Structure formats: structure tokens, C-alpha cells
Amino acid sequence: MGKIDVMGNRRGQIQMGESVAILFIFFILIVFGFVFYMKILGSSAQVEFEENIQLQAIGVAQRVSFLPEVQCSRDNVRKENCIDLLKLEHLDEIVPTNQLHYFDLFGFSRIRVQQLFPPGDDLAVYDNVPDTFTDKLSTFIPTSLYDPRTGDFHLGVLVVEVFS
Amino acid sequence: MLRKKRGQMEIQFNWIFVLIAGALILAFFISVVNKQREVTLIRTSSSVATNLESIFTGAEISTNTVNVFDLPQTTVDFECGSYAIGSVRKQTGDNAVFAPKRIEGRQMITWARDWSVPYRIMNFLYLTDPVIRYVIVNNSKNLGKKIYDTLPREMNKEVVSNTLDALSALTDRNDPHIRFVFLGVKNDYPLQLSLQNVDNDKISAIAFPDLVGTSTIPRFGKVEFYEKQGNSFGTSPSKTFYMNDDALYGAIYAGSAEDYNCAMRNAFSRMALVSSIYVNRSLELQSFYGSGGCFTFHHDRFLSVLETVAGDLSLLYPPVNDQALSNIQDNIVSLKNEQNRQLQLLSCELVY
């Protein structure tokens, strides 16, 4: 009688052990699957994040190229890829006092104009570099620089650096 | 007897064990699915928001362009300085965006127009839903036809005469929103019976009292925003002003007077900034020329007024009366004729 009892108990324990083992393996598989899925999700989120930064950089470059504060115009007819040097010289006076407005347009970025020919100084358009950043995307836009005093056009490049 | 009882307990225990384990597994999967659903919603909203941001950037730089964009089944809520797609809210910054309170169709129409007063300040961006119905109530000089032709053809728009018969013929087509545009004083005709039953927030009206009997759009004028109250429009509208036809179109698109005034404040704020650049530029050129005709016509008399008045309007719009707008318009004309044109005749560098 006692032997049968022990046998029955053991069989029950074995069955229980089997169930627990199956559940254990099942959960391990779920965890593996979940980790794998999260990894894929994470990498696609990273790709999306990088795409967003690139879009942001393009957006900033486009905005600054067509900014009325610096763009050349004659009788309100705009010249594309042209920066008025006189306008640019005065922009640095209004940017610091209207930081919030320009932050909406350019965010964390540094925008400057390099005069290549004839060689000249770099001119700052906007400078707001965060204390810490993980990524920096630079865009270089060849542009002509117009000096209204002399009527001369110089060759330059608009450097747009976006930080994230 | 005891063994039978133990067997029964064992079977019961097994069932309880299976039930708990099953419930745990089910709860786990349900929570994963729910979480995933939330994440997907946020991702869709944020992807639409990013796309909208790109659209806004494009519209900021290209002028006089109309685009129709497909949207996923989502609602975009606009308010002063921001828009929300689901739980994702984005700023429109200091842009002048004129949009209805809500866009919930599958498409969105964007229209960008250059705002030059008289030099380029910024682009006005107009957004709407192709299913929102615009009813232009014409004036005696058929100005409604001109406005109809200027508005994007993708819009759901119609021109009706300002008569009781014409207005009575309008029926409810289950439009998400109907905007009446009165070119003149708003009439006192009650709404057509089928429109009376439409929710108050689904019908609104805007009136331009100064457009009565004119064939062209005056340089500035009054705007009145009406809300539906029962079977007619309210008697105390929100009053504001438009300046140039660009702002008039803005009022047609804007969901409310507050949103319209907010966009106009942004526009004048930008105008003050751009004007200050032109003030400095003109004074710099004046000192460069030193003497002669080019020196004479480079000054900041008109530009300074534009800068100051625009700065004032950026803080307080709508103004109490149209004096400030009249002042701006007078200085625009003077700047054009007495400064820029004269400089052109003398082959000097222009002001703008």
C-alpha cells in the first residue's frame, strides 16, 4: 500500500516537473523572441532617428538658403543661392536679441559663410551649439556673396552644421 | 477513500496550475499587444508629424505652390503655434499658418503664398481639408468669382449670390465643416432648415464688411468671425483686420479669430526683424555713398516706421483701429515710389 503511495507521489512529482520544465522552456523561448523583436525594433528606431536628423539638417539648410534676412533681391525679385553681405553683417546684431525666434528656425546648429574667392573671413549667421551632442551633420552649399557697396559677387560656401 | 480524495485534489491542482499559467501567458500577450498598439499609434503620429514638418519647411521656401498630401486615417488638430496628431504635439514656431481647427480627412491641401510688404517677409501657409466646404457669398461686383478662382481648385468651394433664394438652396451634404465667406456685411437670413440641425461647431462664417460693392480687395479692412448659434450666426462676432489679400485668404482658412490673430502676430514679428535688417542696410549704403543722389534716397524714414509699427502689431494684434495698418500701407507706397523707384532711376543699389 505504502509503495503504491510513494510511486503515485513520484509520478505526480515527475508530471509536475515536466509541466514546469515545459513552461520554463516556453518562457525562455518567449524571452528570446521578445529580445530579438526588441533588437529589431531598436535598430529600426535608430534608422528612423537618423533619418529625422538628416531631414532636420536638410530643413535647416533650406531655411537658411531662402532666409529673407540674408537673401539677395532686387526690386523684391529674389536671387537664389545668393547672400547679401550687407544684410549678413547686420544679422548677427539681431540674432542674439531674438534667440528664441531663430531657435525655432535653426534649432541646435551652427551656420556660417566662408568666403572662398577672393579669400575672406568667415561670417557667422547663427551659432547655437549644445554643451553635449552625439551626432553632427554638415551640409555645404556653394553660394555667391553679393556686396551691394561695390556690386561685386564673390564665391563662398554656406556651412550648415546640425547637432543632435 | 483517502486516495480517491487525493486523486481528485491532484486533478484539481493540475487544473488550477494550468489556469494560472494560462492566465499569466494570456496576460503577458495581451499586455504586449496593447503596448505594441500604443507604440504603433505614437510611431504613426510621429511619422505624420515629421512628414508635416517637411511639408512646412518646403512651403516656407517655395511660393505660390499648391500641394495635396495623403494622410493616414488620423486627425490633425491645429491651434496657435502648434498642431497635434494624436498624442504627438509639434510646434509650428513663428510661422504664419492658417488652418481650420481640425483636419480629419484622408488628404490635406497646402498652399503657400509669399507675403511681401513690400519686401519679402515670409511665406503664408494655408492648410485645409478637401472635404471642408467653403461657401463664398458673392457681392454685387462679382468679387466672389475672383476669390474663387484664386483659391486652390482642389478645395471644396462654391460661389452663391447674396439672396435668400440662393442661400435657401444650400443643403446639408454631411460636410465635416461649412465655412460661409460673406464678401460684405453678413446678412441676417436664417440658415436653411437642413443646416439648422447641423452641430454649431460644424458651421462658421466670416465676413469682410469693407468688400461690399468692390471689385478688388482693398489694401486692408475689417474681418468678422461668426459662430453658429441655433438657426443663425451669433450677433457678436470676433472682430479683427486683414492686410493685403494674403491675410484675407488667411482669415478664410483660419479656424478662429484667435488662431488668425496669432498667425498675424507672428507675421508682424518677422516683419519687424526683416525691416530692421533693411534699416541697417540702407543706412550703411547711405554712409557708403556719402553724397549725391544715391546718398539722398538711402535713408530709414519709411523703413523705421515699418519696423516700429510692425513691432507694435506683433505684440498687440488685432489693433484697436485700422490706423496702424493704414500707416504701414502709406509707408509701403512711399518706400516704393519715393525711395526704391528713385534709386532705380539713378542706377543705385536698391533698398530691397
End residue of a domain, out of B106, B130, B154 = B130
pLDDT at A7: 66
The answer on B291 and B187 residing in a single domain is no
> Is residue B352, in this structure, part of any structural domain at all?
no
Per-residue pLDDT for A14 more than 90? no
Q: Which residues of A touch B122 (CB under 8 A)?
A: 68
Indicate the range of A58-72, B52-66, B123-137 predicted with least confidence: B52-66
* Nearest CB to A59; choose among B57, B120, B285: B57
Domain encompassing residue B95: 1-130
Instruction: Say whether A63 and B61 touch across the interface (CB within 8 A).
Output: yes
Between residues B48 and A110, the one the model is more confident about: A110
The answer on B37 and B19 residing in a single domain is yes
Indicate the range of B54-58, B113-117, B249-253 predicted with least confidence: B54-58
The answer on B58 and B1 residing in a single domain is yes
Beta-bridge mates of residue B207:
B182, B224
Confidence of residue A91 (pLDDT cuts 50, 70, 90): very high
Segment B262-276 shows an average pLDDT of 97
Instruction: Say whether A86 and B281 touch across the interface (CB within 8 A).
Output: yes
Taking the C-alpha atoms of residue B267 and residue B264, their distance in angstroms, rounded to an integer, is 5
Report yes or no for ipTM above 0.90: no
Roughly what angle, to the nearest 10 degrees, separates helices A99-106 and A2-65?
110
Determine what percent of chain A is predicted with pLDDT higher than 90: 65
Confidence of residue A4 (pLDDT cuts 50, 70, 90): low
> Is residue B350, in this structure, part of any structural domain at all?
no
Grid coordinates representing A146 are 553679393
* Nearest CB to A69; choose among B21, B273, B344: B273
pLDDT at A8: 64
> Is residue B157, in this structure, part of any structural domain at all?
yes
* Residue A3: Cβ within 10 Å count: 7
The answer on B340 and B306 residing in a single domain is yes
Summarised one tens digit per residue, pLDDT across range B174-210 is: 899 999 999 999 988 877 777 888 889 999 999 999 9
Segment B327-343 shows an average pLDDT of 97
The answer on B312 and B219 residing in a single domain is no
Confidence of residue B74 (pLDDT cuts 50, 70, 90): confident
Residue B332 phi/psi, 5-degree rounding, is -65, -45
Segment B292-296 shows an average pLDDT of 95
Q: Nearest residue on chain A to B13, judged by CA atoms?
A: A16
Confidence of residue B72 (pLDDT cuts 50, 70, 90): confident
CA distance B119 to chain A (A): 5
Between residues B352 and A23, the one the model is more confident about: B352
Segment B59-82 shows an average pLDDT of 87
Number of domains in chain B: 3
Segment B45-73 shows an average pLDDT of 84
Per-residue pLDDT for B52 more than 60? yes
The answer on B144 and B65 residing in a single domain is no
Segment A82-94 shows an average pLDDT of 93
Confidence of residue B1 (pLDDT cuts 50, 70, 90): low
Q: Which residues of B touch A8 (CB under 8 A)?
A: 3
Q: Which residues of B touch A15 (CB under 8 A)?
A: 14
Confidence of residue B134 (pLDDT cuts 50, 70, 90): very high
DSSP secondary structure code for residue A163 in this structure: E
Q: A151 CB near a chain B CB, below 8 Å?
A: yes
Determine what percent of chain B is predicted with pLDDT higher than 90: 67
Between residues B80 and B263, the one the model is more confident about: B263
Q: Which residues of A touch B349 (CB under 8 A)?
A: 148-149, 151
> Is residue B22, in this structure, part of any structural domain at all?
yes
Mean pLDDT of chain B: 91
Burial class of residue B4 in the structure, from the number of CB atoms within 10 Å of its CB (0-12 exposed, 13-18 middle, 19+ buried): exposed
CA distance B197 to chain A (A): 43
The answer on B111 and B6 residing in a single domain is yes
CA end-to-end span of chain A, whole Å?
77
Chain B residues within 8 Å of chain A (Cβ atoms): 3, 10, 14, 17, 21, 25, 28, 32, 47, 50, 53-54, 57-58, 60-61, 91, 93-94, 116, 118-122, 269-270, 273-274, 276-277, 280-281, 284-285, 288, 340, 344, 349-350, 352
Segment B101-111 shows an average pLDDT of 91
pLDDT at B234: 86
End residue of a domain, out of B93, B112, B130 = B130
pLDDT at B339: 96
- Helix, coil or strand: residue B33: helix
Per-residue pLDDT for B292 more than 60? yes
End residue of a domain, out of B210, B235, B255 = B255
pLDDT at B84: 92
CA distance A5 to chain B (A): 8
Taking the C-alpha atoms of residue B292 and residue B284, their distance in angstroms, rounded to an integer, is 15
Between residues A35 and B21, the one the model is more confident about: A35
C-alpha B136: how far from chain center: 18
In B52-106, DSSP assigns E strands to: 65-70, 76-79, 82-85, 88-91, 96-98, 102-103
> Is residue B135, in this structure, part of any structural domain at all?
yes
Q: Are B338 and B332 in contact (CB under 8 A)?
A: no
Which residue ranges make up each domain of chain A? Answer: 44-163
> How many beta-carbon pairs under 8 angstroms link A with B?
90
Instruction: Say whether A63 and B57 touch across the interface (CB within 8 A).
Output: yes
pLDDT at B2: 60
Determine what percent of chain B is predicted with pLDDT higher than 70: 97
CA distance A76 to chain B (A): 5
> Is residue B351, in this structure, part of any structural domain at all?
no
Between residues B14 and B67, the one the model is more confident about: B67
The answer on B96 and B44 residing in a single domain is yes
Instruction: Say whether A101 and B269 touch across the interface (CB within 8 A).
Output: yes
Segment B225-254 shows an average pLDDT of 94
Q: According to the per-residue pLDDT averaged within each range, which of A7-21, B75-89, B139-153, B185-199 is highest?
A: B139-153
Per-residue pLDDT for A137 more than 70? yes
The answer on B109 and B135 residing in a single domain is no
Q: Nearest residue on chain A to B90, judged by CA atoms?
A: A104
Per-residue pLDDT for B6 more than 80? no
Segment A82-102 shows an average pLDDT of 93
Cβ-proximal residues to B42 (8 Å cutoff; 6+ apart), any chain: B86, B87, B88
Per-residue pLDDT for B60 more than 90? no
Between residues A73 and B64, the one the model is more confident about: A73
Per-residue pLDDT for A83 more than 90? yes
pLDDT at A133: 93
